[in-house]
Chain A
Amino acid sequence: MTARPVIIRIDATSGTGLKAGTQVRQGQRLGSQSGERDVVCPVSGTVESIRFDPQAHEFRITVKPQE
């Protein structure tokens, strides 16, 4: 069974430093929320897409988990 992609939301202020295709590790810091709380990647895998949500001023990073 293929694992479902995971979406991680981070505040857009600091940016992502990621691109589609980047490999990420479980526990890797992806950014923050409210400039304070760290948001870490819940799975290891590949960044599928990064979308900016202007209303929330957040990035939504889609990670495809490693098989």
Chain B
Amino acid sequence: MPRISRALIVTTVVILILSVATAAVASYPTPKIDQANLSFYQGPISTEPYPLTASRKVRNVILCIGDGMGLGQVSLARLRAMGPDGKLHMERLPVSGLVRTHSANRFVTDSAAAGTAIATSIKTNNGMLGLTPDGKRQWTILEAAKAKGMATGLVATSAITHATPASFAAHVKHRRMQIAIAEQLLANRVNVLLGGGREFFLPKSDPDSSRKDNRDLIAEAREAGYAYVETAAELRAVRAPYLLGLFQVEALTTLAPEPPLALLTRKAIGALRNAEQPASGRRSGFFLMVEGSQIDWACHNNDADSCVRQTLLFDQAVKAAVDFALRDGRTLVLVTADHETGGLTIRDKTASGTDVEPAWSSDGHTASPVPIYALGPSAERFAGVYDNTEIAARLAQLLGIRPWPQRVE
């Protein structure tokens, strides 16, 4: 038998054995809440676009990523929450465009490759984080901003070690390597890390741990100067330039008493403002990435109610970013997605009320382009139709980061 065929058979057999061996693994039930109750959402009073900013000089960047949020997800959330003539906060940003999302090896990207493209301007293979397809480390826009003296932050409703946040501050061969990702996030001295995923920071001796060693990354973070919080009350009280907040063992529940994404965003902005004050008093600026992680998860389940709820929770976080940016005048806010999930469209119906019927064409990701909305100085640079690698390229230009893209030496 030819050697290649034998290798293929061996690989297939190993995969089959591994697959069968997992038969006893527990399932992941969705929280028992009324997903259709949207009373938490405070939509915009006006449908007018937010104003364009006269200044062109960007000091701060807040990049909001709705995981799996295509135009269908935005439309469904808008129709359910605001009706056919309303708008979400993100739709009021004055500049918009469309972003192509394919990865280096697939028409349909995953969050690891898409996050890497958005963060580094380099296309990589699905599953890989912060590396070129041949495994070379590539600088992320967060790391470049940090090297320039800016404060940096990552906020997510998934584990903070999940693919999208990890793509901004970690370099690993596969997104599954969340133990290594946790170590790299702290080693990279990201000022603010807020999300779930405590399991990857706790030592093996802890029953909640998923680590294979006894490193206690929370203790190590404290020793390195991080303030550590686990509850909304602790988060509200804390004031520190380095902040680690892990609110769940795994992903966030996105339910009270957990801090909602909008509060995480506000607190992250506050902490970054503290962190970016050098002795000279001249602000160095900050880079913050905020992810609404669970839009994707709702769409993999073809769960329209949960999709709407997660999109609106994300929109509240966008509002928090916009409120700050409008006050500050030197903050660029970008709202986009890594890819679309579910092939979501809206079925025809009489255009009144908010009773909308979704239609799904898939339970996976799709190659549809995703929206990008922009507000703040030089927002107009993000109009048009372009590739996701262009986002970091344009940011690097605006922040004076050269050359770009950059390989880590």
B318 at the interface (CB under 8 A from A): no
Instruction: Give the chain B neighbours of A52 by CB distance below 8 A.
Output: 28, 297, 300-301, 363
Number of A-B contacts defined by CB within 8 Å: 94
Contacts A16-B364, A57-B163; is A6 near B110 (CB within 8 Å)? no
Query: CA–CA, A13 to B338, complex, Å?
Result: 12
Instruction: Give the chain B neighbours of A54 by CB distance below 8 A.
Output: 28, 158, 251, 294, 297, 300
B174 at the interface (CB under 8 A from A): yes
Task: Give the dominant DSSP class at B's interface.
Answer: loop
Contacts A13-B364, A54-B294, A57-B163; is A35 near B28 (CB within 8 Å)? no
Contacts A13-B365, A52-B301; is A35 near B106 (CB within 8 Å)? yes
Residues 24-67 of A at the B interface (beta carbon under 8 Å) = 33-40, 42, 50-57, 59-60
Contacts A7-B19, A52-B301; is A35 near B363 (CB within 8 Å)? no
B91 at the interface (CB under 8 A from A): no
Of the four ranges (under 10, 10 to 19, 20 to 34, 35 or more), the interface on chain B belongs to 35 or more
Query: CA–CA, A14 to B16, complex, Å?
Result: 19
Contact of A35 (CB < 8 Å), options: B110, B163, B250, B297 = B110
- A contacts with B, residue count (CB < 8 A): 32
Query: CA–CA, A17 to B343, complex, Å?
Result: 12
Query: CA–CA, A56 to B110, complex, Å?
Result: 12
Instruction: Give the chain A neighbours of B18 by CB distance below 8 A.
Output: 9
When the two chains form their complex, are residues A7 and B365 in contact, meaning their CB atoms are under 8 A apart?
Answer: no
Instruction: Using CB atoms, name the residue of chain B closest to A38.
Output: B12
Q: Point out residues on B near A: beta carbons under 8 Å.
A: 11-12, 15-16, 18-20, 22-23, 25, 27-28, 103, 105-106, 108-111, 125-127, 158-159, 162-163, 174-176, 250-251, 294, 297, 300-301, 362-365
Q: Point out residues on A near B: beta carbons under 8 Å.
A: 4-9, 11-17, 33-40, 42, 50-57, 59-60
